[in-house]
Structure 1
Amino acid sequence: MAQSAKPTSPQAPTQGPESYFTGTVWITTLAGPNAQTDCVVSQVTFEPKARTVWHTHPNGQILLATKGTGYYQEKGQSIQIFREGESVTIASGVEHWHGAGPTGQFTHIAINPNVSKGGAVNWLQAVTEEEYNAPH
């Protein structure tokens, strides 16, 4: 007989560490890894101009924009505007960053699958001001 799922409450928001983010970022873990889904689901809120550092995901990632307008960029590509209601599916190993635009707060849901098979993220170097302000 299958085990019953029990509702869980999200953790309190924590501020993203400076080693992984530029600017103020709040992370709320909505669902941690478990035997049934093996994924981490988080709500991430970026203050204006805040962003991740360049990074990759060993098993890919799905981002769902839920509030505001943000930026998404893959290494070697132009910055893409990322709007509320849109999603981005990121293949495993693709170097990228994401965050808020210059004038407003931006929130997305991040889904990191298969975390038992290589972890959720590999953090790299900071996104420079020149990279952040590049034409898009």
Structure 2
Amino acid sequence: MQITRRRPDTLRGPAEQFTGAVWLDEIEAHAPGSRLRMFNVHFAPGAHTAWHRHPHGQVLHVLQGEGLVQRRGGGIEEIRAGDTVWIDPDEWHWHGAAPRTFMTHLAVVEAAEDGTTTEWDTHVGCDAYPA
């Protein structure tokens, strides 16, 4: 058993991967023998990810606020505190805060054997994100 009491500093989400103000708190990242990655992600109103996918899928658990999630080819879905979202392996998607509220979620992924967790694509177009 290992208890972590000191975490890495909160990082700003890079502009290449996020639209708007997003902050990332790493909760767990590759303990020896594990490929589990977990982040607490804080989105300002209207902030969201670019299109992306994960080799082994992703679990999102909304802790507070309201958000949006969309898979490529599907409709935009509303999510709110208490909701859990499973995103299939290699499914292109985006997620973030609703236009007028903050949203925080836990994001859990399993790294591929080469250590990668995410493949990033283009930003979500203004016409696709609701105002």
CA deviations 1:20-71 (Å, max 9, x no partner) are: 0000000000011123432110000000000000000011110000010000
TM-score (norm 2): 0.93
| Structure 1 residue 97, shift from structure 2 partner | 0.0
After superposition, the C-alpha distances for 1:65-115 in whole angstroms (9 at most, x for unaligned) are: 0010000000010000011001011111000000000111000000011x1
- Report the counterpart of residue 16 of structure 2 in structure 1: 19
Q: Runs of 4 or more off by more than 3 Å in structure 1?
A: none
Q: Which runs of 5+ in 2 are unaligned?
A: none
The whole-number CA distance in structure 1 between the counterparts of 2:58 and 2:112 is: 14
Q: Verify the 8 A CA contact 2:68 2:97 in the aligned structure 1.
A: yes
Equivalent pair of 2:47/2:97 in contact (CA under 8 Å): yes
Distance in 1, Cα, partners of 2:10 & 2:37: 15
Structure ID, larger Rg = 1
| CA–CA separation in structure 2 for the residues paired with 1:85 and 1:12 | 26
Conservation of the 8 A alpha-carbon contact between 1:59 and 1:117:
no
Q: Measure the CA separation in 2 of the matches of 1:65 and 1:36.
A: 28
Task: Give 1:63's aligned residue.
Answer: 60
Relative to its length, the structure with more strand (as a share) is 2
TM-score (norm 1): 0.90
Counterpart position of 2:119: 122
> Which letter maps to 1:117?
E
Match of 1:6 in 2: 2
Q: How does 1:1-136 map to 2 (within 5 A)?
A: 5-8=1-4, 9-113=6-110, 115-118=111-114, 119-133=116-130
What letter corresponds to residue 38 of structure 1 in structure 2? R
RMSD between aligned residues: 1.3
